[in-house]
Structure 1
Amino acid sequence: MKSFTINKPNHDLHKEIQHKIDFKTKPLGALGNLETIACRVSAIQQTLNPELINPHIVVFAADHGIAQSGVSKYPQEVTYQMVLNFINGGAAINVFSGQHNIELKIVDAGVKGCFNDCPSVIDMKIAEGTRNFANEPAMSIKEAELAINRGAALVKEIAQTNCNIIGFGEMGIANTSSAAVIMHKITEIPLNLCVGRGTGLDDEKLVEKCKVLEAAASKYQPQQPMEVLSTFGGFEIAQITGAMLQAAEERMVILIDGFIATSALLIAQAINPAVLEYCIFCHQSDESGHKLMLEFLNAEPILKLNMRLGEGTGAALAYPIIQSAVNFMNEMASFESAGVSNVTT
Structure 2
Amino acid sequence: MSSASENLAWLPVVPALDPALASRLRWAVDSLAKPPGSLGRLENLAVRLGTIAGSIPPPRIERATLLIFAGDHGLCEEGVSAYPSTVTAAMVRTLLAGRASANALAAAVGAETTVIDIGIAADLPAHPGLVDAKVRRGTRNAARQPALTADEVEAALAAGVAAAGRAVDAGADAILLGEMGIGNTAASALLMHRLLPAPLADCIGPGAGHDPEGLARKRAALARAAARTAATEPLSVLAEFGGLEILGMAGAAIGAAARRRPVVVDGFIAGVAALAALRLRPGIGDALVFAHRSAETGHALLLAELGAEPLLDLGLRLGEGTGGLLALPLLRAASRLLTDVATLDEVLAGVA
TM-score range, shorter chain: over 0.9
Equivalent residue runs for 1:124-203 within 5 Å = 124-203=133-212
2:102 counterpart residue number:
93
Query: 1:111 is matched by which residue type in structure 2?
Result: I
Does residue 1:19 correspond to 2:27, yes or no? Answer: yes
Contact conserved, 1:115 with 1:121, CA < 8 A, in 2? Answer: no
Equivalents in 2 of 1:83, 1:272: separation in Å? 30
Paired residue secondary structure (1:299): coil
TM-score scaled by length of structure 2: 0.94
Measured after TM superposition, the shift of residue 340 of structure 1 is 8.4
Instruction: State the partner residue of 1:280.
Output: 289
Q: Number of residue pairs matched?
A: 341
Shift of 1:113: 1.2
**What per-residue deviation string (whole Å, max 9, x for no partner) do you get for residues 287-331 of structure 1?**
010111111110000001101000001110000011111122321
AA aligned to 1:21 is V
Shift of 1:86: 0.2
Corresponding position of 2:56: 48
Distance in structure 2 (CA, Å) of the matches to 1:19 and 1:120: 42
Identity of matched residues, %: 35
Query: Which amino acid letter does the alignment assign opposite residue 196 of structure 2?
Result: T
2:215 is aligned with what amino acid?
Answer: L
Shift of 1:191: 0.5
**Structure 1 SS opposite 2:159:** helix
Are 1:256 and 2:239 matched, yes or no? no
| Mapped partners of 1:257, 1:150: distance in 2 | 19
Offset at 1:231?
0.6
Partner of 1:74: 83
Query: What is the Cα-based RMSD across aligned positions, in Å?
Result: 1.4
Give the letter aligned to residue 217 of structure 1. A
Unaligned runs of 5+ in 2: 1-7
Structure 1 counterpart of 2:334: 325
Q: TM-score, normalised by structure 1?
A: 0.96
282-291 vs 22-31, greater mean Cα deviation: 22-31
Q: CA deviation at 1:166?
A: 0.4
Does the CA contact (< 8 Å) of 2:205 and 2:297 recur in 1?
yes
Contact 2:70 2:117 in 1 (8 A): yes
In structure 2, the residue matched to 1:31 is: 39
Equivalent residue letter for 1:16: R
For residues 170 and 160 of structure 2, the distance between their equivalents in structure 1, rounded to whole angstroms, comes to 16
Q: Helix, strand or coil for the counterpart of 1:99?
A: helix
